[in-house]
Structure 1
Amino acid sequence: MDSTAWFKIFVCYFFYRYFRLVVNLWAFWTFKPIPIPENPTLRPSDVTVILPTLDGEGEELERTIASILQNKPKEIILVTIDENMHKAERTMNKMPASIFKRIRCMSVKHANKRRQMARAIPEVTTEIIVFADDDVTWPVRTLQWMLAPFEDKKYGGVVTCQRLRRAENPTFSQRIYGFLGALYLERRNFDCAATTHMDGGVPCLSGRTCAYRTSILQDVNFTNGFTNEKWWFGQFQLNADDDNFLTRWMVSHQHETYMQYHPECEVLTTLEDNPKFLKQCLRWARSNWRSNITSMFTERDIWRQQPWSAYAVHMTTLMPPAIIGDGLLWLFLWLGTWDWPADQAQIARLAFLAWMTFSKFIKLVTHFIRYPVDVFLWPVSVLFGWFHGLIKVYAALTLSVTTWGSRANADASDSSRMIRQRRAHFQDLVDEKMQEKLLPNDEMRTYDHDTKHFQPPSA
């Protein structure tokens, strides 16, 4: 091909890759949260907070409970595992009687967040359910902001923005991993606010803190779907990725969602500040692969209901890793300008270098405004972005793995998160269709699953 053809390829790929960034920048900076009404019909007393926890005790859990109670929900349902029930009760016994009455403890046999959530959902009597992780800290008006969108009956789920709780006196290694974790949440805030503004799509209603209408979650169809999700053509039962399932359920059942991006509902959370952070990234990457594949090719509701989110979020899953994408763009530009006058070719390449630098910085500007000293660590984020491509590829090759790897005792019951089914669901459907279509109704015979043949009708 001549240089003109290569330059056209460069332009097309450049446009496909960066058009979403330009639009999302506009959407992010023009986004506005739904304000708290003067006379709300929903109040914090209309909320039950479900708090799944593994250990059932600890300073972090106590801090989480204290911040939630400051928001004045009707009650908290603490769900742990049977062997740690006594720890949860011990945690409750430390609290004043007035607080103790607003907390209930429950347990399931094995550690599994879906099962813990499903255990508590039927016990809720309020209009709104909020799920929260056991390592978050809420601002005092978080619930008021989360309830604001629910004044409109079309909304079924609401999520908040998030920020990393900075470590005190971190080592250099902790500082680096903490910086990467903070940027992960910053990018998430950016993407969720932008897509919410564009078409109401939220990439994932993060389980760190999210709210739903109780009537949706207590529906028997939701319960069946949530506790019996099938993955990979029905060959597995998936009991991980709870927040991704909830997000897709909202879309497939036409319940709109919203992200409240405001400092007064900015939830503080923790991430690993050591090499275990890489295992967290791997777990998130696997979840994204599984959920986005399901959204695009199995359920397919996003193409009609949230086309911008489908392009700006879901389709990026199938794109080459950043280091390959960047390399291809440079290759196409080089081949497309090799016979240009030297000064023009240099201007084009410098302009692209400036754009690429801008594109890798602009999403993070809100973090650097808050912590200017972190600007010196910005090159680390670029290098990690390229390295993350390897994590993404490895995640795609190991989608049947559901281990946490970053939390003690969290993987004790890992086998229950991805259960191979005795018989693939899709084969059952094929068998049923064979019986219905290949034989007249008056000559129906039994199809033997073992021999793969129809048996003659019994006399």
Structure 2
Amino acid sequence: MAFPFMRSFILLFLYRYVRLVVNLWSFYTFKPIPIPENPKLTAEDVTVIVPSLEGCGDELVETIRTILDTKPHELLLVTIEANRKDAEKMLKAMPAYLHDRIRLFTITHPNKRRQMTRAIPEVRTSITIFADDDVSWPTTALPWILAPFDTDERYGGVVTCQRLRRAVNATFSEKIWNFLGALYLERRNFDCAATTHIDGGVPCLSGRTVAYRTKILQDEVFTNDFTNEEWWFGKYQLNADDDNFITRWMVSHGWETYIQYHPEVEVKTTLENNPKFLKQCARWSRSNWRSNLTSMFAERHIWYRQPWSTYAVHLTTLSPPALLGDCLLIYLCHKATETLDGDVHWWAMRALGIWMFISKFIKLLGHYRRYPADFLLLPISILFGYFHGAIKIYAAVTLNVTAWGSREGADANDAERMRKRSDIEREKHARRLASIYPLNKVVWPSSGYAPIA
């Protein structure tokens, strides 16, 4: 029996491109939740937590300044004890009228989850926002971030639109790295808005700037699980991937999430503009592997809560690299049409080539509209997309690695990010969880959803 080349081609083509076509429709029809005319929540209902390694520096000063310009209730800065004096010196140098709106906390060793849980109990407002120490906010950000919480009690987490803050007077090589970083964020915005519009799924509530209801974060069970996440059948304790954990927590505990994709809530951030960007890509890819495998095969809530997001985002983790997928499509199309009329075969191959080329940039049109000159760099983005397949494979075989690799001092306590657990520790954690979270006392949000028993 001849191999069914045509059937195989059609199935692979549909698997790859149905998500693209539907997501394009979803993205361009997506609308952010508007600010209510008479909002119940205001900036005074917001506390911003900024975990920082260095605890000082011009970039952090700019972050704090732009955040406080939005007039939240207060800002909690959390750094490590070794950098306390530098942080205090930086805060003292800031305008005096800001001093009573900033509180400083420290922990012994660098660990973002520990830094977050150090500050969470100190929050006295109904909304908590986490922000990285290298972001800048527009003054219009908070009303947009609060709008979903004001609109529906079921919303537990809201993430923002993100753009790259490009380097000034950059060299040619820095411009290339900036271009690749900007496309990474553009692709993220596209995917989040598209999937949110269809089934409410957000691939990841990125910690660059994300808001949650404080009652979720201050729940004792959340704190326990957040600081004792299990990985690889409970053999390891994972302290990396904090934003992925909270994203999955929202899904498994019945909360809705949203992305506010609008220019007035556009957060600017920085990425590496040198070869260290590749290390960032490897770290992000490992995080995606770990979290998506957990979502699909350990927790499994996404299959019925967010089926489209599962297909459009999570399953792509298991898809072959772009170069392999493209080559396979071309081969199948060639074999499926080679016995047809010569013109039909030629037109089929040409149409496939044009379609595949358009698919390489159609999701990124927003970026190219803002920076038309970057379209000249399109071949670089296509080649990098193919190269990223190698990064993805490398990440898959190095899931035990949690190092940043791109930030000085960030890996001083790397062993704690993924630590092997003893049987005694695992049993102790299970007993503690059972004691503080008996199943018959669980109260779920008004959506009525409850997780798998």
* Distance in structure 2 (CA, Å) of the matches to 1:72 and 1:426: 43
* Distance in structure 2 (CA, Å) of the matches to 1:268 and 1:19: 31
TM-score of the aligned structures, taking structure 2 as reference length: 0.93
When the two chains are superposed, the root-mean-square deviation of aligned CA atoms in Å is: 1.4
- Report the 3-state secondary structure (helix = DSSP H, G, I; strand = E; otherwise coil) of the residue aligned with 2:423: coil
Structure 1 runs not aligned, ≥5 long: 431-459
1:103-118 aligned within 5 A: 103-118=102-117
1:87-166 aligned within 5 A: 87-151=86-150, 152-166=152-166
Match of 2:433 in 1: none
- Residues 28, 193 of structure 1: 8 Å contact kept: yes
* Distance in structure 2 (CA, Å) of the matches to 1:370 and 1:198: 26
Q: Percent identity?
A: 63
**Paired AA for residue 256 in structure 2:** E
* Distance in structure 2 (CA, Å) of the matches to 1:397 and 1:55: 31
- Residues 217, 223 of structure 1: 8 Å contact kept: yes
1:356 aligns with 2:356: yes
Match of 1:337 in 2: 337
Match of 1:66 in 2: 65
Residues 424 and 350 (structure 1 numbering): CA distance in 2 closer, same or farther, change over 3 Å? Answer: farther
* Distance in structure 2 (CA, Å) of the matches to 1:246 and 1:160: 15
Deviation at 1:164, TM superposition (A): 0.2
Deviates more, 1:94-103 or 1:124-133: 94-103
Match of 2:374 in 1: 374
- Report the 3-state secondary structure (helix = DSSP H, G, I; strand = E; otherwise coil) of the residue aligned with 1:101: helix
- Residues 233, 426 of structure 1: 8 Å contact kept: no
1:396-436 residue CA offsets vs partner (Å, 9 max, x unmatched): 00001000000000000000100001229889999xxxxxx
* Distance in structure 2 (CA, Å) of the matches to 1:220 and 1:427: 19
Deviates more, 1:410-419 or 1:421-430: 421-430
- Residues 163, 268 of structure 1: 8 Å contact kept: yes
Residues 412 and 42 (structure 1 numbering): CA distance in 2 closer, same or farther, change over 3 Å? Answer: same
- Report the 3-state secondary structure (helix = DSSP H, G, I; strand = E; otherwise coil) of the residue aligned with 2:222: helix
- Residues 138, 267 of structure 1: 8 Å contact kept: yes
* Distance in structure 2 (CA, Å) of the matches to 1:294 and 1:71: 36
Structure 2 runs not aligned, ≥5 long: 431-453
Match of 1:443 in 2: none
* Distance in structure 2 (CA, Å) of the matches to 1:245 and 1:429: 17
1:151-193 residue CA offsets vs partner (Å, 9 max, x unmatched): 1101000000100001111111101111000000000000000
TM-score of the aligned structures, taking structure 1 as reference length: 0.92
* Distance in structure 2 (CA, Å) of the matches to 1:86 and 1:131: 23
**Paired AA for residue 61 in structure 1:** L
1:229-252 residue CA offsets vs partner (Å, 9 max, x unmatched): 000000000000000000000000
Residues 422 and 176 (structure 1 numbering): CA distance in 2 closer, same or farther, change over 3 Å? Answer: same
* Distance in structure 2 (CA, Å) of the matches to 1:294 and 1:142: 32
* Distance in structure 2 (CA, Å) of the matches to 1:82 and 1:425: 27
* Distance in structure 2 (CA, Å) of the matches to 1:425 and 1:401: 22
- Report the 3-state secondary structure (helix = DSSP H, G, I; strand = E; otherwise coil) of the residue aligned with 1:161: strand
Match of 2:258 in 1: 258
Match of 2:307 in 1: 307
Deviation at 1:2, TM superposition (A): 3.7
Aligned pairs, how many? 429
* Distance in structure 2 (CA, Å) of the matches to 1:391 and 1:374: 24
**Paired AA for residue 107 in structure 2:** V
Give the number of the structure whose alpha-carbon radius of gyration is greater: 1
Match of 1:298 in 2: 298
**Paired AA for residue 87 in structure 2:** A
- Report the 3-state secondary structure (helix = DSSP H, G, I; strand = E; otherwise coil) of the residue aligned with 1:11: helix
* Distance in structure 1 (CA, Å) of the matches to 2:213 and 2:429: 33
* Distance in structure 2 (CA, Å) of the matches to 1:147 and 1:276: 35
Match of 2:12 in 1: 13
- Report the 3-state secondary structure (helix = DSSP H, G, I; strand = E; otherwise coil) of the residue aligned with 1:259: strand
Match of 1:235 in 2: 235
Match of 2:33 in 1: 34
**Paired AA for residue 354 in structure 1:** I
Residues 383 and 45 (structure 1 numbering): CA distance in 2 closer, same or farther, change over 3 Å? Answer: same
1:397 aligns with 2:374: no
1:194-221 residue CA offsets vs partner (Å, 9 max, x unmatched): 0000000000000000000000000001
* Distance in structure 2 (CA, Å) of the matches to 1:87 and 1:16: 53
Match of 2:448 in 1: none
**Paired AA for residue 351 in structure 1:** A
Deviation at 1:23, TM superposition (A): 0.3
1:72-91 residue CA offsets vs partner (Å, 9 max, x unmatched): 00000000000001111111
- Residues 235, 424 of structure 1: 8 Å contact kept: no
Deviation at 1:337, TM superposition (A): 1.2
